[in-house]
Structure 1
Amino acid sequence: MAQPHTIEVLLRPAVELYTVATCAGAALLCMVAPWSLALNPLLGFGSALAFLAFGAIRLREAWVILRYRRNLRRLPRYVMTSRQVPVSQQRLFVGRGFLWDQRHTHRLVQTYRPEFRRYVEPAPAYRLARRLEERLEFAPFPLSRLARLIAWDHPLNPVRPLPPLGGLPRLHGIEPHEIDVTLPLAERVGHSLVMGTTRVGKTRLAELFITQDIRRKNAAGEHEVVIVFDPKGDADLLKRMYVEAKRAGRDGEFYVFHLGWPDLSARYNAVGRFGRISEVATRIAGQLSGEGNSAAFREFAWRFVNIIARALVELGQRPDYLLIQRHVVNIDALFIEYAAHFFARTEPKAWDIIVQLEGRLNDRTIPRHMVGREKRVVAIEQYLSQTRFYDPVLDGLRSAVRYDRTYFDKIVASLLPLLEKLTTGKIAQLLAPDYADLDDARPIFDWMQIVRKRAIVYVGLDALSDAEVAAAVGNSMFADLVSVAGHIYKFGIDDGLPGASPGLKVPINVHADEFNELMGDEFIPLVNKGGGAGLQVTAYTQTLSDIEARIGSRAKAGQVIGNFNNLIMLRVRETATAELLTRQLPKVEVYTTTLVSGATDSSDIHGPTDFTSNTQDRVSTSSVPLIEPAHVVGLPKGQAFALLHGGQLWKVRMPLPAPDPDEVMPEDLRQLAGYMRQHYTESGDWWTGHSPPDLQDAPLPDDLLEGIHLADTETAGGEMRQ
């Protein structure tokens, strides 16, 4: 019987079919020849109905067995277009699956027993078909057609090939009753971590989540903020975001920031907005090494950048990488400019004295530590040393210019390479935008503006071309986002606006693909404290070792992992990563049967019994883990184990994408996506360092640049802001 017993055995012949055949024959006999059973036609008809009813029950039980055996080898196809993705105001759709419990562990253990191999492994006809397919691939014409026929992926083909998913289909086939797996939106504030090796479905899962985030509306009809960090530059992800934004009527709120294509990118000042002026120095100096002897140089770099940033703000200038680099190289100009600003407010006659002091200076009267400085800098310093003026910004600049020039250049040597990376070529136009240039149509955005507009941002960091610049910009963006989150947590998103609602917060969905490449000390407070401001981080990475290698500390890696309440693990190749999931699961009891048989000779040679025999089926239990790391390693593509709802283990599979006929993009973004597909490789190959020559600064073709309007571009489907 198929119904549950003490020991559930679904891997067996469908013996119920014998009963079905018997009932079908008896029903036919009752209908055709009731007289053979001593029945009149009316009783024969009633008996036939009874036989058919009992046969239907047994057929249903047999179907359970047959479907279970089929699913262990081949799962039903699960395909969904992006238009069919369910979007809820209460829950996030993850896929189809089931809640894993002791029954599934017991069924999985059974599939590894030798007596059940014929139900789990491919049939002999299937293996023969695959061997013929390999041998006939290069055969002449008649035989090559046979190879195509064998490889025909259609239900009418009895030996149709399995989908190219790999892994163990039995991991999902042990439960024939699937349901939609969803995550309550209230749980997303606890952040989600998605782990999986290359080409197993992380980006597809990201597309599924991002599609819902873009299209979701709250009860008031307002959309949510969506920010996507894509280090490697996935063209299909960019296309999906634009198509969904257009479908939701949000193409006018769509921004594309891409370091690899500055001519098509929006602009962003990573240090232009801050809650406290010291944040500017933290975002820049945070990219420097703080290990060993480098810690002292990092602290000095922080102090020096902080001095420059304070002076720029006092002068009414917005800090950016170009200005900071200019003044790091030549602090004298900033000292003179700020001194002029300060004396104009406090002591207008001071310049007369400074000019006189400057005229008296010569090589003998200049102090040794000021050699190499401009004479006006020396004169201002001498004037200030004779007066009692106090200004914290001016005192900071004085302390900087009093350093010996050669010594000063040495202690800022670690800062200059970073600033050179961020201000070289066309990237400088993106990270240090000219706010006064009205001829540049590329929009400029900041995170507070994005949050208030409920906008969508795609951030392509071009990590293949220059991973260090990508990491620096990504970390600066994370630090800026943390600052904005702190402001929203305290004052809400409408602080300072007329008619503002105090404390108003909106969901801010942050998707960080390959986040280990972008992660630094700035990422920890983002996941640790950002939830109070509405930040909902979904991070995607490959292994636990990637996080440890990036941070350089196992304790900090554990600190990061500990802030993710939801864990979705696809196939991984590292056992330590799989154990991150399996060690959080309990052990369960599974039943095992043991066949015991024996025979005993009789000691009475004259008795009627020569020997006695007995056969027993013993039922015992053993404690095994709910799942093993080997099961995580053996997952097919597009399938995952997920810890959701406070530690509940779900087995999930994602829908395969089906093309939509209306998936169109504007010509400029379509060609950009084409270039991304052509030049970018998978993130798993970043370490090889094989990047296209001059990819970053190579000019784009004329046909790509023609007709591009980056702000309020009119397209066939509407307006779009890149």
Structure 2
Amino acid sequence: MNQTHPLESLLRPAVELNTAVVCFACALMCVFAPWALALTPSVGIGMAFAFLGFGLWRGRQAWIVLRYRRNMRRLPRFALRSDQVPVSTRSLWLGKGFKWEARHTQRLHESQQPEAERYIKPSRLYRFARHLESRLEPVRSLYFVIRLLSADSALNPFRPLPPVGGIPALHAVEWREIDVRLPLGERVAHTLVEGTTRVGKTRLAEVMITQDIARAAQDVVICFDPKGDGDLLIRMYIEALRAGRGDEFYVFHLGYPGISARYNAVGRFGRISEVATRISGQLSGEGNSAAFREFAWRFVNIVARARHSLGQRPTYDQILSDVVNIDGLMIEYAQQTLAKHDAHAWDRISEIEGKLNDKNIPMAMKGRDKRVVAIEQYLQQARIRDAVLEGLRSAVRYDKTYFDKIVASLLPLLEKLTTGRIAELLSPDYHDLEDPRPIFDWQQIIRKRGVVYVGLDALSDFEVAQAVGNSMFADLVSVAGHIYKHGVDDGLPKVDGGGSGKVAINLHCDEFNELMGDEFIPLINKGGGAGIQVTAYTQTMSDIEARIGSTAKAGQVIGNFNNLIMLRVREERTAKMLTDQLRKVNVASRMLVSMAGDNPDVDSSVDFTSSGGDRISTVQVPMIEPADVVSLPKGQAFALLEGGQLWKIRMPLPLPDKGKNLPMNIQDIAEDMRARYSTGERWWEDVMPPPIHFDPPQFREVANQAAYQPPPVGPMDMGEASDAPWQE
């Protein structure tokens, strides 16, 4: 409706409807009884068209008012199947919505006035129907009445409102919705999604991930899911199959090591010192712990250099074994190295070893293996120059008790990563060709344009999930640095003269505050140059500060997210992170003015004077308040995109897919995850048709016909994973 008056008023009776009804009646009279209006038949036809056109114009104005009032109580349903989600190679679709402007703040202000209350709150009949439901619930014989009153059908005049809560007026202030899209060029600036539990963060993640997987099979998609959401896993796998990327789909899940792919976070590196950095970076660096972390870095670096020189790929299991038993590594390395310098070295070492006893062993070497003491005494005489050997010698020269103390902070971390069946996943045996579980690393995933779901099972073991997540981030930072310098295809032959470029790496981090460490800061700060596009999901700012332990570092992390999508939050400070970035606008208000005064002139025939009118004043207010963010319905959000443009969006409710047969192992995982974990992200089920149910016998038949082998998810060719070089 065009704004032709100082104040726009839409929460009012639709008086235009009266004019429209009169115009339609006059049009009928002009056609069938022109004589009643003193018109000839020919003129009556012309007047009928004039009345009809004016009536349609006024009817449209009335419809705008009626639709506006209806939306204030119940928004139109918005639901899509995953294959109906728009996919573009130029933009990311976020949902339906509109750009928030000053007129929307004005309309929201008007909806909060007392005189608009009857258009906002449910009618008396609706409230009576809900009251009747609760009163009749104990009466089983009247159960059919409750079913009729609570039926979610457009034919039910008293159907209940959708269980999304919040204030519908926040979205109803604009009835002309459009597709809200974020240009792909803006995604490299990273996106932060904030919202409390059960408001739709995972649903928004599904919408984004669906598009990332379907986008021309060129984007790498990596999803970190600390809690383990079975529906998100199924969604990613269905979309990978639909996009023809099933062979590039990997599942890494700490809760299901029997079918999970395997991953070695320290197996690939550009410089050998990266191994020590990735491990020691997870240790505390505050206060006195900083010195112990430096010692840990040094000893891990010594161990990693020795294993690398021996031609072995570092693993967590091997590093733990070497740190606990540095003597064994010293002996193994010396056996391979010393013979190259002196053919009789071991004869002399054996001779020295035979002469050793508790009295002639140096005090600092007490508790060491006698062969290690003999090697050390031999090297003091032989003067062999070997950097790795010198490092091992410096480690064994420490008093064993003192050595155990200074590496004490390192051992708990390594034990978290090497305990139980998790060791099979994080320290894979590259020579075991009987194990069908694939082995992957980030360089391989990026080159293959892979799709990876990482389930960390944080609800079962938070400490291990945190350690594994930080290890993966540290490895990803290293890979990003290599891509930034050399490109994705460094070391591979060029095809058709093409250069080594970069690809979009979409990194989705659900509950990322649980995963975040010091490794995350360089990832979002400098990872954009390597094509990494981070979409992080969390609940509040306090979660980030509590995890990272510093307000300044938390601000550093948040400052790297240029796009902000905020669903309903419960913390006012988090809401202000959005509202404080918005400008203020002028809101007009109407004031009724009435005045009366006596006439002091007794000789005048006028006893008093009076006047009345409306006064319009403006006041400057924030575009939205923190209370508006707190009052958002489920599935709706405010989004600050493209340099501070405020958008109001709502996500589509999910409709069930029209069935794709899933392998039994994926289905079993998802069903077990649903049984074990209650994520609360199924808030839409009460207002949507029931989800698709999979029939296990049907899948068994399909699996038998296709000779499907259940164990792993991902490529089954172990040759590529086993033969891939671990040093770039």
TM-score (norm 1): 0.94
- Counterparts of 1:200-599 in structure 2, within 5 Å, are 200-217=199-216, 222-499=217-494, 501-599=498-596
Return 492-501 or 157-166, whichever deviates more.
Answer: 492-501
CA offsets per residue over residues 173-206 of structure 1, 9 Å max, x none? 0000000000000000001010001010000000
Q: Does the 8 Å CA contact 1:495/1:502 hold for their aligned counterparts?
A: no
Secondary structure of 1:156's aligned partner: coil
Return 481-490 or 283-292, whichever deviates more.
Answer: 283-292
Q: Distance in 2 between matches of 1:260 and 1:440?
A: 18
Deviation at 1:2, TM superposition (A): 6.2
Amino acid of the structure 2 residue aligned with 1:469: V
Q: Distance in 2 between matches of 1:499 and 1:341?
A: 38
Q: Distance in 2 between matches of 1:620 and 1:650?
A: 27
Q: 1:711 to 1:632 in 2, by over 3 A?
A: closer
Match of 1:670 among 649, 662, 667: 667
CA offsets per residue over residues 148-182 of structure 1, 9 Å max, x none? 11111111211211111100000000000000000
CA offsets per residue over residues 511-543 of structure 1, 9 Å max, x none? 011100000000011100010111111010111
Q: Does the 8 Å CA contact 1:493/1:505 hold for their aligned counterparts?
A: yes
Aligned to 2:184: 185
Return 170-179 or 61-70, whichever deviates more.
Answer: 61-70
Q: Distance in 1 between matches of 2:502 and 2:11?
A: 54
Deviation at 1:301, TM superposition (A): 1.0
Q: Distance in 2 between matches of 1:333 and 1:170?
A: 71
Match of 1:646 among 643, 647, 650: 643
Aligned to 2:721: none
Secondary structure of 2:20's aligned partner: helix
Q: Does the 8 Å CA contact 2:592/2:615 hold for their aligned counterparts?
A: yes
Q: Distance in 2 between matches of 1:380 and 1:255?
A: 47
Q: Does the 8 Å CA contact 1:489/1:532 hold for their aligned counterparts?
A: yes
Amino acid of the structure 1 residue aligned with 2:376: E
Secondary structure of 1:308's aligned partner: helix
Amino acid of the structure 2 residue aligned with 1:708: P
Return 288-297 or 582-591, whichever deviates more.
Answer: 288-297
Q: Distance in 2 between matches of 1:194 and 1:276?
A: 35
Q: Does the 8 Å CA contact 1:94/1:654 hold for their aligned counterparts?
A: yes
Aligned to 1:611: 608
Deviation at 1:675, TM superposition (A): 0.6
CA offsets per residue over residues 616-655 of structure 1, 9 Å max, x none? 2111110100101000000000000000111100000000
Amino acid of the structure 1 residue aligned with 2:181: T
Q: 1:357 to 1:391 in 2, by over 3 A?
A: same
Q: Distance in 2 between matches of 1:554 and 1:271?
A: 31
Q: Does the 8 Å CA contact 1:2/1:65 hold for their aligned counterparts?
A: no
Amino acid of the structure 1 residue aligned with 2:332: E
Structure 2: 5+ residue stretches without partners = 682-699, 717-728
Q: Distance in 2 between matches of 1:409 and 1:511?
A: 39
Q: Distance in 2 between matches of 1:712 and 1:203?
A: 24
Aligned to 1:690: none
Q: Distance in 2 between matches of 1:320 and 1:712?
A: 22
Secondary structure of 1:624's aligned partner: strand
Q: Distance in 1 between matches of 2:272 and 2:7?
A: 68
Q: Distance in 2 between matches of 1:204 and 1:129?
A: 32
Q: Does the 8 Å CA contact 1:267/1:431 hold for their aligned counterparts?
A: yes
Aligned to 1:693: none
Number of aligned residues: 691
Deviation at 1:96, TM superposition (A): 0.5
CA offsets per residue over residues 11-57 of structure 1, 9 Å max, x none? 11111111112112212222222112222222222222211111111
Deviation at 1:413, TM superposition (A): 1.5
Matched, 1:632 2:629: yes
Q: Distance in 2 between matches of 1:389 and 1:434?
A: 34
Q: 1:65 to 1:286 in 2, by over 3 A?
A: same
Return 283-292 or 480-489, whichever deviates more.
Answer: 283-292
Q: Does the 8 Å CA contact 1:2/1:61 hold for their aligned counterparts?
A: no
Q: Does the 8 Å CA contact 1:509/1:535 hold for their aligned counterparts?
A: yes
Q: Does the 8 Å CA contact 1:233/1:676 hold for their aligned counterparts?
A: yes
CA offsets per residue over residues 414-445 of structure 1, 9 Å max, x none? 11111111111111000000000010010000
Amino acid of the structure 2 residue aligned with 1:184: P
Amino acid of the structure 1 residue aligned with 2:258: D
Q: 1:707 to 1:301 in 2, by over 3 A?
A: same
Q: Distance in 2 between matches of 1:708 and 1:84?
A: 30
Secondary structure of 2:188's aligned partner: helix
Aligned to 2:710: 708
Q: Distance in 1 between matches of 2:106 and 2:172?
A: 13
Q: Distance in 1 between matches of 2:33 and 2:711?
A: 84
Q: Distance in 1 between matches of 2:4 and 2:93?
A: 31
TM-score (norm 2): 0.93
Q: Distance in 2 between matches of 1:276 and 1:128?
A: 72
Aligned to 1:5: 5
Q: Distance in 1 between matches of 2:140 and 2:469?
A: 55
Aligned to 2:725: none
Q: Does the 8 Å CA contact 1:97/1:181 hold for their aligned counterparts?
A: yes
Aligned to 1:169: 168
Deviation at 1:278, TM superposition (A): 1.3
CA offsets per residue over residues 658-680 of structure 1, 9 Å max, x none? 01112431111101110111112
Q: 1:82 to 1:600 in 2, by over 3 A?
A: same
Q: Does the 8 Å CA contact 2:250/2:714 hold for their aligned counterparts?
A: no
Q: Distance in 2 between matches of 1:213 and 1:345?
A: 54
Q: Does the 8 Å CA contact 1:2/1:62 hold for their aligned counterparts?
A: no
- Counterparts of 1:689-700 in structure 2, within 5 Å, are none
Q: Does the 8 Å CA contact 2:541/2:574 hold for their aligned counterparts?
A: yes
Secondary structure of 1:159's aligned partner: coil
Q: Distance in 2 between matches of 1:712 and 1:196?
A: 32
Aligned to 2:719: none
Q: Does the 8 Å CA contact 1:516/1:546 hold for their aligned counterparts?
A: yes
Secondary structure of 2:606's aligned partner: coil
Q: Does the 8 Å CA contact 1:490/1:503 hold for their aligned counterparts?
A: no
Amino acid of the structure 2 residue aligned with 1:54: F
Deviation at 1:287, TM superposition (A): 1.7
Amino acid of the structure 2 residue aligned with 1:198: T
Return 383-392 or 581-590, whichever deviates more.
Answer: 383-392
Q: 1:683 to 1:561 in 2, by over 3 A?
A: farther
Amino acid of the structure 2 residue aligned with 1:573: R
Q: Does the 8 Å CA contact 2:588/2:617 hold for their aligned counterparts?
A: yes
Secondary structure of 1:190's aligned partner: coil
Q: Does the 8 Å CA contact 2:73/2:168 hold for their aligned counterparts?
A: yes
Q: Does the 8 Å CA contact 2:107/2:173 hold for their aligned counterparts?
A: yes
| Displaced runs of 4 or more, over 6 A | 703-706, 711-714
In percent, how many aligned pairs have the same letter?
66
Q: Distance in 2 between matches of 1:344 and 1:86?
A: 67
Deviation at 1:503, TM superposition (A): 3.5
Deviation at 1:683, TM superposition (A): 8.7
